[in-house]
Copies of this chain bind each other. A is one copy, B any other.
């Protein structure tokens, strides 16, 4: 077992922001000042090249706590944020940047890199869930949701396939490869999938392919003009989680 420690705490606008470490995994837990018993826990995945305190992620996490009374947590994926990058990961990144600069497809390098990061991060998220559920203010009754696009979706799909504690998820904007399609077929929870319609690097057909693959009976594709680099705020409908957790009869704030 990794050791769980809170390392810093601050409160602003009614949201408590606590940095933590779980072994060598650095993370953040955002909570309402007075969380309800059994308040849901949102896992907030960060995109490729970003980290647990990316501004968009923090804004959504704080809104989850302030508007819905949820806990929200984020961790740095290996080679992101506070975590050093291995030489092998650096070679994948270099190759991705070279391909993008040359106008070539990112698919070969990004799918290998993201697949490897997913293999490493799924168990880290599961250990993080274990550690957070051991906190008295979270507990094991809290319904758990997951949200995040691009790299966070590459990680979130196999996580949702592997861990029944996750009850609802928002995914989207992802490079599709066979292992990800296989994992999507094993996902049966309600999902929303965000699909940018004019992405220079991810085509519509692959978005429809992975959406079709999800085993979920309740799933919605949200598609919008533009690319995955700028998802309009109006497309991030966090009330999806409120509806899902309410329908499941789970305790809400």
Residue in chain B with minimal CB distance to A204: B208
Partner of A222, one of B204, B222, B232: B222
This chain: copies in complex: 2
Chain B neighbourhood of A223, CB < 8 A: 211, 220-223
Determine whether A6 belongs to the interface, using a CB cutoff of 8 Å to chain B.
Answer: no
Chain B neighbourhood of A219, CB < 8 A: 224-225
Residue in chain B with minimal CB distance to A225: B219
Interface size on A, residues (CB 8 A): 21
Determine whether A235 belongs to the interface, using a CB cutoff of 8 Å to chain B.
Answer: yes
Knowing A204-B208, A208-B204 are in contact, say whether A221-B234 is a contact too (CB < 8 A).
no
Complex Cα–Cα for A218 and B224 (A): 8
Complex Cα–Cα for A219 and B232 (A): 10
Chain B neighbourhood of A211, CB < 8 A: 197, 223
- Asked if residues A234 and B243 are in contact (CB atoms below 8 Å), the reply is yes
> Which A222-236 residues have C-beta < 8 A from chain B?
222-225, 232, 234-235
Determine whether A34 belongs to the interface, using a CB cutoff of 8 Å to chain B.
Answer: no
A211, A220, A239, most chain B CB atoms within 10 A: A220
Determine whether A13 belongs to the interface, using a CB cutoff of 8 Å to chain B.
Answer: no
Determine whether A237 belongs to the interface, using a CB cutoff of 8 Å to chain B.
Answer: yes
- Asked if residues B220 and A220 are in contact (CB atoms below 8 Å), the reply is no
- Asked if residues A224 and B221 are in contact (CB atoms below 8 Å), the reply is yes
Given contacts A197-B212, A219-B224, A220-B223, 17 further A-B contacts (CB under 8 A): A195-B221, A197-B208, A197-B211, A197-B221, A204-B208, A218-B232, A218-B234, A219-B225, A220-B224, A220-B234, A220-B235, A221-B223, A221-B224, A222-B223, A223-B223, A234-B243, A237-B237
Pick 12 A–B contacts, CB within 8 A, sort by A: A195-B221, A197-B208, A197-B211, A204-B208, A218-B234, A219-B225, A220-B224, A221-B221, A221-B223, A222-B222, A223-B223, A237-B237
